[in-house]
Amino acid sequence: MLKLNRLAIILLTLISTYPVLEISSQQRTYSPLSRFGIGEQQQIGFNSSSAMGYTGIATRSSYGLNNLNPASLTALDSLSFYFEGGISHYWQEFSYDGTSARNSDMVFDYIALGFSVSPKFSSTIGFKPITSSGYDYENVEQFESGEEAYSQLFGSGNVTQAYFGIAYQPLKSLSIGANIGYNFGSLQNTSKATFSDPNALKHGVYRETRVSSITYDFGIQYEHKLSEEKSITIGTTFRPKLALSGDTTRYVARGTTFGDNNNLFQEGTLIDTLAYAQNEYTGADYEYAASWGFGLSYKIENKLNIALDYQVESWADVNFLEKNIELQNSHRYAIGAEFIPNDRSAKSYLARIRYRAGAFYKNESIVIDDHDLYNYGITFGVGLPLKRSKTAVNIAMEFGTRDAKSNNSVSQTYGKVIASFSLHEFWFVKRKFD
């Protein structure tokens, strides 16, 4: 039986090659707000985190992986192997100046493996989305001469991270961890303008930003035992300011008939190229903000877990390719809870379910029309155990709003249904009986 389980895990890992490729190619947002910078930051939580307000900086659990603090890896069973993956169905409704649009899609969220190297060392490897761009909308601009320009703006692309993490427990109550990642992907932005003057040529601008950068972050957790079953954990995470590297292509042209997608003009209708440039960039041109995170959790083993998180990202002092974007530091607050009525109940499956809920509030890094952009929402869900093991199916729901609270009523409401599978297997123990 053990050999069959190991074979199933290996097959799942091989099959996961396709979802890994999908993570970097799917459209993860339809929001016009994703056209700024390197796209819309993706909020991804493993295991219980997505149903608990995306808390996890101070969370320690042997039931699954935690992507929010690498130090949490030492909480995994030392003789076990973990395999996790998640998918989600999301919908978004964006409104601006009296107009609105609604879109939805299903995407693959993440894939990760975790295991212990020794009783004090644990590690993980995985793939997850970092930022995404995806929008298609129209804009009308009127000039003093009375002439109007009708613009269509659309974009697509993702930045994905492949990462490796390791954690060490020098003391029974103290854990430290670190991740090293490779961010890769590209973002495409296109605008096409048609003028009210019938004799005017159409103008098009195409820009592609390709990212290829090494990243790293660190985490610490300290657990204080109040009793045999009760404990308090404090956690902190840190990501230094990171220099991004890659290259950009910018192409400006005019013609008579627009092409499809990222092709500015149909063949034979291009009149002339106004500008074309392809340049490499480094940290002197493009940076990813430094980040500090602080967390506190209270846990009654296999009964209750309450978590609080705070995170700040220092976007106000980073170099950005787009100089016309106003950036500020972002602050995120989150709270989450998990309750298990009776995880040892032999009579009631409902008593063994893990019930979860949470909420979050964040001011985004981008300023819209001199107004802060806020992102807030609620989450809830369950962890459904399979048989008498730590393997579980996790279901979460999220409802949120992004709102600039400006006169033009820039607002986006969204929702998400998340399903993840957490496979736990005693990899290094040979069973005496099948």
CB-CB neighbours of 50 under 10 Å: 29
Dist. CA 434–CA 432, nearest whole Å: 7
With H, G, I as helix, E, B as strand and everything else as coil, classify residue 10: helix
The answer to whether the beta carbons of residues 243 and 189 sit under 8 Å apart is no
Dist. CA 400–CA 92, nearest whole Å: 10
pLDDT attached to residue 94:
86
With H, G, I as helix, E, B as strand and everything else as coil, classify residue 11: helix
Query: Taking the chain, what is the end-to-end CA distance rounded to the nearest angstrom?
Result: 6
Apex 205 CA angle, 204 and 206, nearest 5: 125
* Run of H or E including 23: helix 17-23
pLDDT attached to residue 4:
43
Name the burial class of residue 296, with classes exposed (0-12), middle (13-18) and buried (19+) by CB atoms within 10 angstroms of its CB.
middle
Domains located in the chain, CATH noted: 2-425 (2.40.160.60)
pLDDT attached to residue 101:
83
Per-residue pLDDT of the chain (434 residues; tens, 9 = 90+): 444 455 445 445 544 444 555 555 678 888 888 888 788 889 999 989 999 999 999 999 999 999 999 999 999 988 888 999 999 999 999 887 677 788 889 998 999 999 988 889 999 999 999 999 988 888 887 777 777 888 888 889 999 999 999 999 999 999 999 999 999 999 999 999 898 888 888 999 999 999 999 999 999 999 999 999 999 999 999 999 998 899 999 999 999 988 876 678 888 888 888 999 998 888 778 889 999 999 999 999 999 999 999 999 999 988 887 777 888 999 999 999 999 999 888 889 999 999 999 999 999 998 887 888 899 999 999 999 987 778 899 999 999 999 877 656 678 899 999 999 988 877 655 555 55
Instruction: Check residue 301 and report its DSSP letter.
Output: T
Half-sphere exposure for 382 (CA within 13 Å, toward CB): 9
Dist. CA 61–CA 84, nearest whole Å: 14
The answer to whether the beta carbons of residues 255 and 273 sit under 8 Å apart is no
Q: What is the DSSP string of 351-398?
A: HHSEEEEEEEEEEEEEEETTEEEEEEEEEEEEEEE-SSSS-EEEEEEE
Apex 48 CA angle, 43 and 49, nearest 5: 30
pLDDT attached to residue 25:
64
The answer to whether the beta carbons of residues 314 and 329 sit under 8 Å apart is yes
Chain-centre distance of CA 420, in angstroms?
15
Dist. CA 29–CA 165, nearest whole Å: 28
Dist. CA 414–CA 157, nearest whole Å: 20
Dist. CA 46–CA 62, nearest whole Å: 13
pTM attached to this predicted model? 0.88
Task: Quote the tokens at residue 314.
Answer: 């220092």
* Run of H or E including 13: helix 2-15
pLDDT attached to residue 376:
96
Output phi, psi for 261, to 5 deg. Answer: 50, -125
Dist. CA 87–CA 34, nearest whole Å: 21
Dist. CA 109–CA 416, nearest whole Å: 12
